[in-house]
Amino acid sequence: MSDAKLRCQWTGMAPRALRELVDRFGSHEQVAEAIVRGRTKHSAETRTAVRVPAEVRREELTRAGVRWIPDTDPEFPRRLADRPDRPPGLFLVGELATGSTFAVVGTRTTSAYGRRLAEAYGAAIAGEGWSTVSGLARGVDGAAHRGTVRAGGHGCAVLGSGVNVLYPAEHRALGNQLVKTGGAIVSEYPLGAEPRPWRFPPRNRIISGMADAVIVVEADVKGGALITASLALDQGVPVFATPGDVTRRTSRGCNLLVRDGAFPALDPEELIEDLRLLVGAPAKRGATAEYEGEHRWLVEALVHAHPGTIDNLVLESGRPIGEVVAAVGELVVAGVLRVDDDIYGTNPNSGAAK
């Protein structure tokens, strides 16, 4: 089955078009056969491409230093594998992360402030031993990758082109540096695939499908960053957004995300504390080991409660309201949680664990 997936994917056709063909014919094997026999409206070039044996394609990949990971492989990102619109496989240079991964995304036309913040987020995530995933684009993506590389961390760039066609050109060195420092370049498109405009939107589902949380730094109301955030929310992946100047176009998307329940990302230090709670890492501040273990369920519920009211904590935790109220009260007194107008959150100023 994986042979047929590779042959079909190497045609470079639009991901949605390939999914529709699989739905129509029943399997990738049947799609390949239909293309070869002229039962689909494809060019002679596509028919020629799908005829090439998978073994020949694998030899091409080996010569190029590229691997192809089918969606059934244990190395394929778990959350992405759960998506019905997942790609048949991923073309990969380097190594995927084995631990927690966080997406840092945003506009290409970012401000100097946005670039500094994205770079700081990338560096802070790397400092925890986590991986950053983004799209290697100009603006926020590139800044996040630079922060990751400068901190010596693991980073992954998801392309809208073949993995051997790094785009934009000014980020080729940055992409290569990601691989040299232990990271990866990933794409669902075959070797040599050019960066066509229609190839960029589908990669957002790959970015969100690789992430344990999505951090949006600067974004307009339209664009890939908000698509990534929406896809993440559909899968129950937490979304963070940096609020910004209400008069700036590239802050509108983030401000709307925060209004609609995204976690505010106010600075790298506080973001890292929130991410530590999310992945179950010991808090560097704000929670003693005792509270970390005894009330783990409350911390996990708080990550998903939007907003963090008692009612939402009861719904998210599945615990009786009396138990929730008692636990919240204990953590507020201990300085682990803060409360503002009956909405609870972690206390970034607590020094309980320092």
Nearest-CA neighbor of 3 among 36, 51, 46, 62? Answer: 51
Query: In whole angstroms, what is the distance from residue 231 CA to residue 54 CA?
Result: 32
| Residue 105 sits in the same domain as residue 218 | yes
Does a structural domain hold residue 206? yes
pLDDT of residue 147 exceeding 90, the answer is yes
**What's the confidence (pLDDT) of residue 282?**
58
Phi and psi at residue 337, to the nearest 5°:
-115, 155
Q: Final residue of a domain: which of 244, 270, 296?
A: 270
CA separation for the pair 301, 309 (Å, rounded): 11
Residue 32 has pLDDT above 90, yes or no: yes
Does residue 327 fall inside a structural domain? yes
338: left (phi over 0), alpha (psi -120 to 50) or beta: beta
Which tokens is 260 given? Answer: 């609609």
Q: What is the mean pLDDT of residues 169-178?
A: 97
> Is it the case that residue 198 has pLDDT exceeding 90?
yes
pLDDT for 288: 41
CATH code assigned at 198: 3.40.50.450
pLDDT recorded at residue 354 = 33
CA atoms of 133 and 121, how far apart (whole Å): 12
Q: Does some domain include residue 86?
A: no
Both 149 and 263 in one domain: the answer is yes
Q: Is residue 303 part of a domain?
A: yes
**Same domain for 237 and 187:** yes
Domain match, 151 and 223 both: yes
The mean pLDDT of 54-62, rounded to a whole number, is: 96
What is 308-335 written as a DSSP string? --HHHHHHHH---HHHHHHHHHHHHHTT
Please tell me whether residues 45 and 114 are part of one structural domain. no
Q: Are residues 255 and 227 in the same domain?
A: yes
Is 353 inside a domain boundary? no
- Number of residues that make up the chain: 354
248 and 293 inside one domain: no
Residue 11's contacts (CB-CB under 8 Å, 6 or more residues apart) are 18, 35, 42, 46, 49, 50, 190
Mean pLDDT value across residues 55-72: 97
Q: Are 286 and 266 members of one domain?
A: no
Expressed as residue numbers, the domain containing 289 is: 282-346
The stretch 130-151 carries a mean pLDDT of: 97
**Total domain count, the chain:** 3
**pLDDT for 261-303, tens place per residue?**
889 998 899 899 889 888 876 555 444 444 555 777 887 787 7
pLDDT given at position 353: 33
Asked whether residue 73 is domain-assigned, the answer is no
pLDDT at 304: 72
Return the CATH number at 293: 1.10.10
266 lies in the same domain as 146? yes
Segment 99-117 mean pLDDT:
95
Q: Is residue 60 part of a domain?
A: no
Per-residue pLDDT at 35:
94
Distances (CA, A) of 334 to 285, 287, 331, 337: 12, 8, 5, 8
Does 106 lie in the same domain as 151?
A: yes
**Amino acid of residue 19:** R
* Domain membership flag for residue 38: yes
CA 150, 152, 158, 160 dihedral sign is positive
- Tell me how crowded residue 34 is: count the other CB atoms within 10 A of its CB: 17
Average pLDDT over residues 113-129: 95
The alpha carbon dihedral of 141, 145, 151, 155 has a sign of positive
> What average pLDDT is seen over the chain?
89
> Could you give the C-alpha distances from 244 to 25, 283, 329, in angstroms and in order?
48, 27, 32
Tens digits of per-residue pLDDT, 314-340?
888 888 888 888 888 777 766 677 777
Same domain, 113 and 245: yes
**pLDDT at res. 285:** 44
Give the pairing type, strands 154-158 and 239-241.
Answer: unpaired
DSSP string, 243-296: ---TT-HHHHHHHHHHHTTPEE---HHHHHHHHHHHHTPPPSSS--HHHHHHTH
Higher-confidence residue of 300 and 250: namely 250
Distances, alpha carbon 273 to alpha carbons 70, 125, 217, 269, in Å: 35, 11, 17, 6
CA atoms of 215 and 149, how far apart (whole Å):
18
Answer yes or no: do 262 and 316 share one domain.
no
